[in-house]
Structure formats: C-alpha cells, structure tokens
Amino acid sequence: MNYGDRDVPFTRITEHKHFSPWESHQGSVCYREFSRQAEPGDTPYYPIRLVEEKSLLEQYVDLANATPGVTFVGRLGTYRYLDMDVTIREALETVAAFDRDGGAMPAFVKSPI
C-alpha cells in the first residue's frame, strides 16, 4: 500500500505473501519503505534527472550511439525510472526489433532522452 501523505514518514508498506496468493503461510512479514537521498556507500536505486545528470546522460547517449553492436535496455541501461511492466514490455519490443531487423540494432530502441 502506498502512503502519499506528508505526515506519514514511509512511502509504502509491503506484505510479500500477497504477491503469491496461491501459497499459504503461517506467518507474514511486512516492511515499511522510507525514502531518502542516497549517500556514499548506498546503492543508488533511483535515476535522478536534474540538469547536471541530464547533461552527463547526454554524453553517455552520444557515446552509446557511436558504439556499434551494443543495444542498451532497462532501467540501468537507459537511466530512466521504469516499473516492471514497462521494463518487460521494452525488453520484448527490443527482441522483436532484433528479429525483425536481422540484428542491425540501434543503441537504443527507446531513447533515454
């Protein structure tokens, strides 16, 4: 469940057993997710696209476009915030484009910019 209210310190609560309703469990685990700015030593999970990051991204995109034989997909590869459904759809679209175009693939099927 998502919690978008300003006075609630966490952003959501997840109870994983509901992801697999066909299973039965004696107990359960719930966790609360607290959002904060990534600090040194953290894994930075979310792409940030402010002015500085976008300018760096453009340099990476130029480099990728100039590199033949590599296609970038997914959240890490395109530096976009993607949910699972979009990630999977774009992966399938990329494979379809690969099949259709006989392997002559651009660096990005979905432009990151």
Q: How far is the CB of 43 from ligand FAD (least distance, A)?
A: 8
| % helix, strand, coil for the chain, step of 5 | 35, 10, 55
Instruction: State phi, psi for 11 to the nearest 5 degrees.
Output: -95, -25
Angle at 46 between CA 11 and CA 49, to 5 degrees: 115
User: Is 91 or 96 the residue whose CB approaches ligand FAD more closely?
Assistant: 91
Among 61, 79, 82, 109, binds ligand FAD (CB under 6 A): 82
> Does 13 interact with ligand FAD (rule: CB under 6 A)?
no
Size of the site for ligand FAD (CB under 6 A): 9
Cα(82)–Cα(77) distance, rounded to whole angstroms?
Answer: 11
Strand partners, 90: none
Binding of ligand FAD at residue 42 (CB under 6 A)? no
Report the chain's terminal Cα–Cα distance, integer Å. 31
Indicate which single residue of 25, 45, 51, 100 sits in contact with ligand FAD (rule: CB under 6 A). Answer: 45
Determine, following the binding rule CB under 6 A, whether residue 84 of this chain makes contact with ligand FAD: yes
Q: Which is nearer to ligand FAD, 51 or 84 (CB)?
A: 84
Q: Report in angstroms how near the CB of residue 24 gets to ligand FAD at its nearest.
A: 23
- Please, where are the H alpha helices in 15-113? 51-65, 74-78, 84-100
- Which residues of this chain interact with ligand FAD, rule CB under 6 A? 45, 74-76, 82-85, 87
